[in-house]
Amino acid sequence: MALATAQVADKTPISKEERLVIVASSVGTVFEWYDFYLYATLAPFFAALFFPKGNETAALLSAFAAYAAGFLVRPFGALVFGRIGDLIGRKYTFLVTIVVMGLSTFAVGLLPTFQTIGWWAPIIMVTLRLFQGLALGGEYGGAATYVAEHSAHNRRGYNTAWIQTTATVGFFLALAIIGGCRYGMTKEAFSTWGWRIPFWVSIVLLGVSIWIRLKLHESPVFLKIKSEGKTSKAPLTDSFLKYPNNKYALLALLGATMGQGVVWYTGQFYALFFLQITLKLDFLTTYMLIGASLLLGTPFFIFFGWLSDHIGRLKIILLGCLIAALTYFPLFKALTHYVNPALETFQNSTVINVAANPKDESFTLFVMPNTKFSEVDRVNDFFAKQGLNFNKVAQEPGKNVVASIEGKNPTTGQVTVTRVEGWNAASETALKKALTELGYPKEADKSKVNYPMTLLILFVMLIYVTMVYGPIAAFLVELFPTNIRYTSMSLPYHIGNGWFGGMLPLIATAIVALKGNIYYGLWYPIIVALLTVVIGAIFLKETKDRDISTYEH
């Protein structure tokens, strides 16, 4: 009977209530992503504001670590708010999450810098990031579940795909407001106080979002099981300690969301950081290129959500992971070629060697006040922040670290070799001088950027994002029973996106510095995406034809 009812609903046009649910849920979720990604976009900038000076890569890693903290705590938010959502209801829960997110973001705009209050600045910053992460951990599952449970049987992929656009739209909104502030004021003014404006703006968006969400009604599917007394009394236990629900939660993570997470963050955030930090493209041009790719690519979230209603969710997600993994290396090398050809030429004509004992190197993800870096680490840091590849060679007897740069002087045509031992102010000056004399491009020449090809590459990577992310909400909603759906889907989603995806800039940056190759950070998303393809193809099945109002494992 339920299936027959669903089939009749399939033929009806989208209702006014469905539209209201989609709009209200999406607007609020856009705001939450805007809040969350303000910091993500400003992470390289915050390295100078909220962390001590000295090692630039270390400061950047610290900024990324605070950025990652918000992602690391997201699964805990999923547990807390997912449980509340399955016990009390979907609407109430994501009203709470939006208030927590909004107030935490506004508070960042009031935060003193490291120069003013010392280590209290990053401590408070990380604390606010933790509150943001907790709120976002409860938001997504609520919005996706709420929309899906209001949707007709054959429109779940299409309707929930609107929720999937919100992360990208929120990212675009953050780029637009930050870019507008930086364009409309001097660099000094923005560094002093202008960076706070985007955070202050969030309080207005918070008010609008709350007003819209107060108009919503509770999910009819949840009200149905509540009236029948079928809600779970222990959602956490039922989700993660009882078979087969715990099996599906693990498979959802390993066979879907962890690959989806790394593809998403590579195509949007790592691409942004790569353009700005590695390829030395100025911030405004970077924002415009990323923003243009977002505008062009966002409709494809809806397309792949719609397509998943017809051919299935899982095959689209896994195909996106596979294509991304196979093409990331050529795509990022093409970015270097089309964005900063002078850097590519310099790389090909210059040989940089670092001779040291690998045991003296450290792979540091989280930089603490007592973290110490060896001379080798500092040399690695120097070349990594220039966006330069370098070779690791055997340690010279009695020398901690020896760095050499060999290349042809573009003015005289003579081949020169600069060799420095150890790391100090003199050796740093000598290396900088050698790079300058050999024609190292400190910034990307905007007149030499191939904008159509760069935009095409960014667009292609965003298509991968839409393939893996567009259908994922419907897939996760359909994978779990109604009485534990909010809790069960939220945890694997936020581990996959918050841990595997959110840690990507941090891990990739550390790998690049350690290995001496600007592309080696890509191995992380490639390996994770390929693991997802294998696990998902073997152990998961299609879900699109399930009736979620009656579905139980």
**Torsion sign across C-alpha atoms 126, 130, 132, 133:** positive
Fill in the amino acid letter for 205. L
Beta strand extents in 281-376 (DSSP E only): 351-356
Domains by residue range for the chain, with CATH: 14-338+448-539 (1.20.1250.20), 343-437 (3.30.360)
Q: What is the DSSP letter of 356?
A: E
| Per-residue model confidence (pLDDT) at position 8 | 41
Cis link prior to 397 (omega < 30° from 0)? no
Residue 179: φ, ψ to 5°:
-60, -40
Q: How far apart are CA 517 and CA 549, in angstroms?
A: 51
Q: Spell out, as residue ranges, where the chain has pLDDT lower than 70.
A: 1-14, 32, 36, 40, 43-47, 51-68, 218-219, 364-371, 550-553
Strand order in the sheet with 401-408: 391-393, 351-356, 401-408, 415-421
Q: How far apart are CA 58 and CA 39, in angstroms?
A: 18
Paired residues of 352 in beta bridges: 405
Residue 421: φ, ψ to 5°:
-115, 140
293-316: pLDDT as tens digits? 988 999 999 999 999 999 999 999
